[in-house]
Amino acid sequence: MKNITLIIPAKYEKESLPSVLLELKKFSFNIIVVLEPTDHETIDSIKNFDCAIVHQRNKGYGNALILGIKSVKTEFFCIFNADGSFNPIEISGMYSLLKDKGGDIIFGSRYEKKSPASEDDTFVTKVGNFIFTKLGKVLFKLPITDILYTFVLGKTKMTLDLNLQSQDFAFCVELPIKAQRKNYKIFSTPAHERARIAGKKKVNAIRDGLYILKKMIFMFLKN
């Protein structure tokens, strides 16, 4: 699918990223890997793979994704994890659903009725996600069921037009909220979160949860 570019933020993912890129060889996606220039071990681990590397000068998950989206040359982009938890087979279904429904952006969800059970979710992340997803529905009328899950496929130009600013994990909520306010056609679809190949989650439940809550309150009051 040459009109889709995968954006893979891959900070310190030298143990899992090569396996992810090896799996992606079965497909025809364009691939952008976003890395800090000082992350030499991860950079070295993928030197034999056919992918573009974009160097992230500033820190933060949101910063990596914004930089990645700005680097995309294709009509569509897809945010894709470097830890092996996303299944690339699901991308074609997301793309087909978006095209069939005339949508602008689609969010994978671990909590749709037909979603397979997550292999990487914890009690804390499940409760936190439930709270933030509910807030998204009540405050912003978001039609999605998994607001913190960033398995997202969308139209590149329209997403750039949102002028996303969040440098941290608050990106997860800024994207759908701004898309909803622009009256973009948003969809949600079941997705299977696999167990990560190696390493640990980089999300700090308390710190990042507070960032996300502050962002949602700020955006609600700003409207």
Residue ranges of domains in the chain = 4-222
pLDDT at 200 over 90: no
Q: Give residue 122's pLDDT.
A: 84
Which is more confident, 206 or 59?
A: 59
pLDDT at 16 over 80: yes
pLDDT at 205 over 90: no
Q: Give residue 223's pLDDT.
A: 72
Q: Give residue 212's pLDDT.
A: 94
Q: SS3 for 70-110, per residue?
A: HHCCCCEEEECCCCCCCCCHHHHHHHHHHHHHCCCEEEEEC
**Angle 123-140/171-181 helices, nearest 10 degrees?**
20
The fold adopted by the segment(s) 4-222 is Spore Coat Polysaccharide Biosynthesis Protein SpsA; Chain A (3.90.550)
pLDDT at 155 over 90: yes
pLDDT in tens, 76-91: 999 999 999 999 999 9
Amino acid at 87: N
- Mean pLDDT for the stretch of residues 50-71: 96
Q: Name the H helices within the chain.
A: 17-24, 40-45, 61-71, 89-101, 123-140, 156-160, 171-181, 205-222
- Mean pLDDT for the stretch of residues 98-102: 95
Strand partners, 107: 152, 188
pLDDT-derived band at 2 (thresholds 50, 70, 90) equals confident
- Mean pLDDT for the stretch of residues 189-217: 89
pLDDT at 142 over 80: yes
